[in-house]
Amino acid sequence: MRYCSQCGSGVTLTVPEGDNMPRHVCAECGTIHYQNPKIVVGCIPEWGDQLLLCKRAIEPRYGLWTLPAGFMENGETVQQGAARETLEEAQAQVEVGALYALFNLPHINQVYMLFRARLPAPEYGPGAESLETQLMSESEIPWDEIAFPVIHESLQLYFRDRATGRFPLRTGSIRRLEGQARRYEVLIEDNAA
């Protein structure tokens, strides 16, 4: 950020009075421009014992598999956002259920929220951002071709929980290890209260 989005003057990075973090502040009009994490919402769409996955038609991670998910928009709920992304990326209507996975990705300022969701019918297809969509049973998941660590981790937790028949909320954090391409640290919390 270099210019004030309110008045067009230059901004400077400074700690405002009463604050303890540097912010982009406009010296001209005084506007403080906060920057905050974004929410990524998505679904784990279930049809019998199969899940609906999408092959990415866009960068990053073109050609790899993921769950339907994307940035939450203003004016919607997290559940509506998860359903919208599933419709956009996999052309599938879903009934959104309980929140299953909540992951922090602090190195890229994102919070992932993945919901279990029910496909009322096996009707789906690739949206504009997908090359292909496919219902997969556990044995068909292409574990070496999953686009993002957060999706890989969520799917692994999901199948482990499914074997027990219970799906408690799973929370954790995934951090990229510094100086190493595609190496991550994964922390899963124990939420037993």
Residues lying near its own copies in the complex (CB under 8 A): 1-8, 10-11, 18, 21, 24, 33-39, 71-79, 97-99, 102, 104, 106-107, 109, 111, 116, 128, 167, 169, 171, 173, 189, 191, 193
Residue (of 78, 160, 146, 86) closest to 112 by Cα position: 78
Give the whole-angstrom CA distance, residue 73 versus residue 90.
18
Tokens found for residue 95 = 């009934």
Check residue 10 and report its DSSP letter: B
Considering the complex, state which of residue 71 and residue 123 has its C-beta at the smaller distance from its own copies. 71
Task: Tell me how far, at minimum, the Cβ of 143 lies from its own copies, in Å.
Answer: 25
Sheet strands side by side (includes 23-26)? 11-14, 23-26, 32-33
Q: How far is the CB of 38 from its own copies (least distance, A)?
A: 5
Closest distance to its own copies from the beta carbon of 188 (Å): 13
Of 106 and 122, which CB lies nearer to its own copies in the complex structure? 106
CB of 7 to its own copies, least distance (A): 7
Nearer to its own copies, 74 or 139 (CB): 74
Does residue 102 contact residue 171 with C-beta atoms inside 8 Å?
yes
SS3 category, 152: helix
